[in-house]
Structures are given as C-alpha cells and as structure tokens.
Amino acid sequence: MLRDRIWRKHLLMLVITATVAFAGGYRAGYPAETLLAVLLVYLLWVEINLYQLFAWLKEGKRKKNHTSGSSIWRDLYASVLRLEKRNKKRKLRFDRLLTGFRDSMSALPDATVVLSKSGDVEWWNRVATNLLGFNRDPSESRQIDAVIQNPEFNRYLEAGDYREPLEIPSPVDKDILLSVRIVPYSKGKRLLQARDITLISRLENVRREFVANASHELRTPLTVVHGYLETMLDDPSLYTGPWQRAISQMYQQSNRVKGIVEDMLALSQLEQGCHGEVQGTVDIAAMLKTIREEAELLSGGDRHRIRLEIESDFDLVGSSERLHSLFANLVSNAVRYTPAGGVITIGWHADGHGALFSVTDTGIGIEARHIARLTERFYRVDAARSRECGGTGLGLAIVKHILNLMGGSLSIESEPGVGSTFSCHFPLNLVREKPAETEPGPVIQPSRHSNLSVI
C-alpha cells in the first residue's frame, strides 16, 4: 500500500540521517552531541513540513501539485489529493442518490414527512405542503404537533401503536379527510404518510346509505308478500293442489330474501355506528341457554348434541340485542354446517385477560385458504351448500362489526373433515362479576378456579 511505502521511505531516511550523523560525530570525537543536534534539525524540518501540510489542507481550493520538499512529502501531498478526489466522487454519487430519493418521494401522491425522535420535522415533500400546511418559513415551528393540531393525532403519536392508520381532517381544509400512517425506522425516527381519502369516504358513505335505504324500502313489500304466502300455506283451502309446491318454494325463497334484507339492514346500522341500543350488564348464562334452545329448534330432526360450558360467575357489558345477534349467528352457522348427530359446544370463559365466547363443532370444516375471507360480505366457501342451508352470507360480517365496536376480536380455527372453532375475545373492561343481590359488580380479574357448569 502507498501508506506503507511512504512510511518505510520516511523510516529509511531517518535511519540513514542518524547513521551519518553518528559516524561524523564519532570521527570528530562528539558522537552523542552530533547525533542529538542532527536529530533536532531533523525534527525542526519535520515540523516545518507539517505546518505547510496543515496550511495546505486549510486552503479552500487545493493545488493540483505540490513540488516543494522532499519526495516523501510530495508523495504525502499526492496521496491526500487522491483521497480528496475519491471522496468528491463519492459525495457526488451520494448527492445524486439523495436527489433521486427526494424527487421520487416528492412525486408520490401521498404527503410524506420525516420525523426525528423528539417529533421535529426534518423533511417533507410537496404534497405535505398542500395537505398538511407545511411551509419553508424558518420562523414557523418545526414540531409536528404544532402543525397538526389535533388531539386525536397527538394521542396516536404518543401511544406508539401504529398498526392501524388514523383518520383525521386535514389541518388545511376540514372538508378533506386524511388517512395517517406512521412507520418507525432507524434509531427512533418515524416516517409519516398522509393520504387523501375524501373521495373514498364519500363513496363509502353513499354505499352505506344506499344499502340502508334499499334494505329499509324492501322490508315492507317483502313482509307483505311473505305474510300472504304464509297465510296460504296455513290454509290449504286457499289454493289448489298443483300450486302447493310452487307456493311452498316461493315462501322459502321470500323467507331467505327477507333474512338477507334484515341482515343487510343490521350490518348497515353497525357500519354507521348507530348507538341506539340500550347498554347494560347482560346475563350471558341466561342468554346462552336461550340460544341453545333456538339452536335445538333450528336443528330439528338432525338431532345435534348441543352442549353448554358456562363459567356462570361473569357477565358482559354491552347491548343485549347485539350480543344475542353475535352469539346466535355463530351458533346457527355451527348447526347449519354440522352433519346430523354432530356435537356443538358453546363455551363461555373469563380470566385475567378478558372473556372468551367460543363455538366448537364437529362439522365439515374449512380449508385454511378460506379462513381469512370468511368475514367478508356474501363470501361463501360453498355457495350451493350455503343456499341449501339458508345462510345469507352476512352472519360473520355482522359478528366482526359487533366485536370491533366492542373492542373485541374474532379468531377462527378449522380443519376440513374435523370441525371448526370460532372464538370471540372481549376486553377485560367489559367483564363484570355477577352481583350477589342487585348491586352491579365492579370490573374484575377472574380467577382460573371459577365455577364451571356443563349443561
């Protein structure tokens, strides 16, 4: 390497100088004094060259060549010039990469902001100027919470849980709805992205209103048609024999459409966040016993074995109507998709993490590739079987929305030919200990040793 070559040359020169000085001093009778004097002169020479080197390095514009001094120092100057040239090339390459990155980030349709660990704004693209109100005025605050003055955004920023995006109005225009997502990276830095979802939100509102209005308008005529068909079936004298099968099929199909309309209306109300239901402490044990009786009626001649495993010391805070819809949808699905004589287990369990409602069946099971899409509207694993069983394709979507409104979650485990387990997880703050008399119980942390009843 060049560094080693320069060092060896410098060391060789020092050894030759010292040897010559010692030999000359020895002849004159003063070897030590001569060697010391020569070494001092040598050190002075080195200091002078170092001073010139530092002065040269401080120059704003480097000289292309430096011919003064010995070959050792010329090599050193040349070496510095080569390193400087290499660094300039690297800097130019880095600048091109940085410019390309900034241009690509500026070309994105979303607002992009780089935040430091303390929340200072380090960089933003052009879209952020339009959507978030950033400008280049140095007198303006560079703190993100001073630019986006929204309490909900501040809580989202401080919480540090960025798994789900946040929807807030734009600080520039309140009519613009933004979807904000934060991605942590590097050492404490964060990348903030804001997307204009105003049009998507409006289209979603139009869809919800259309579904709600259509479902509401269809309910009355369907009720009338369904009522007349039911009356005709109850009184065989009102129609002749050849029409009996047709009227029976019409009644079945009108009943199915009526169920779809009712589910669509219920789902629309859940999506719009309607809070008209009465909230209170719901007796889960009593509700599940009622749902079990309804499931036995739905089972009919199939004679499913329906078991209850209830931890009866705990209730749940919520809407009785919504909870009944949630539990009934899961249990009715188990009845529909479990062969005759199969076992369906309805479970209710509470512990220190919250409450768990589960429905386990020995039915046909579901392939793994379908599980992620089961809660989509009208998604069916087997469309023909679903129609045959009377399902609307909206039950699990309703379950998911109810759980989301309550802060819960749904998990599904299934194996084809073995059966399925649908589990609803409820947060601990909704769990209540069953009151001894009439006093409502406080939020509890249930024990693993609570009384379990199997019915």
pLDDT at residue number 384: 53
Res. 441 pLDDT band, cuts 50 70 90 = very low
Q: How far is CA 279 from CA 74, 288, 317, in A?
A: 88, 18, 7
What is the arithmetic mean of pLDDT over 89-104?
Answer: 78
What is the arithmetic mean of pLDDT over 368-377?
Answer: 83
Decide if domain 202-271 falls under CATH 3.30.530: no
Helices (H), 272-380: 284-299, 320-336, 368-371
| Strand, helix or coil for residue 356 | strand
- Do β-strands 343-351 and 305-310 pair in parallel, antiparallel, or remain unpaired? parallel
The fold adopted by the segment(s) 279-454 is: Heat Shock Protein 90 (3.30.565)
Res. 357 pLDDT band, cuts 50 70 90 = very high
Domain 108-196: give its CATH architecture: 2-Layer Sandwich (3.30)
What is the arithmetic mean of pLDDT over 25-45?
Answer: 80
What is the arithmetic mean of pLDDT over 301-326?
Answer: 84
Taking each helix axis from N to C end, the angle separating 2-28 and 31-58, rounded to the nearest 10 degrees, works out to: 150
CB-CB contact of 418 with 362 (8 Å): yes
- In the chain, domain spans: 2-101, 108-196, 202-271, 279-454
Instruction: Please determine, for residue 24, whether its predicted confidence score (pLDDT) is greater than 60.
Output: yes
Q: With DSSP H G I counted as helix, E B as strand and the rest as coil, what are the percentages for the chain, rounded to 5?
A: 55, 20, 25
CA 292, 367, 355 angle in degrees (round to 5)? 40
What is the arithmetic mean of pLDDT over 342-350?
Answer: 90
CA 140, 146, 152 angle in degrees (round to 5)? 160
**Strand partners of residue 5:** none
pLDDT at residue number 453: 38
pLDDT at residue number 345: 92
User: What's phi and psi for 422, nearest 5 deg?
Assistant: -105, 120
What is the arithmetic mean of pLDDT over 217-246?
Answer: 75
Structure tokens at 158: 């401080």
In the chain, the amino acid numbered 221 is P
Residue pLDDT, tens place only, 45-68:
778 877 877 777 777 555 555 555
Residue pLDDT, tens place only, 411-433:
999 888 888 999 999 998 888 88
The secondary element (H helix, E strand) that includes residue 14 is helix 2-28
Q: What is the pTM of this model?
A: 0.55
pLDDT at residue number 62: 54
Structure tokens at 315: 């209730």
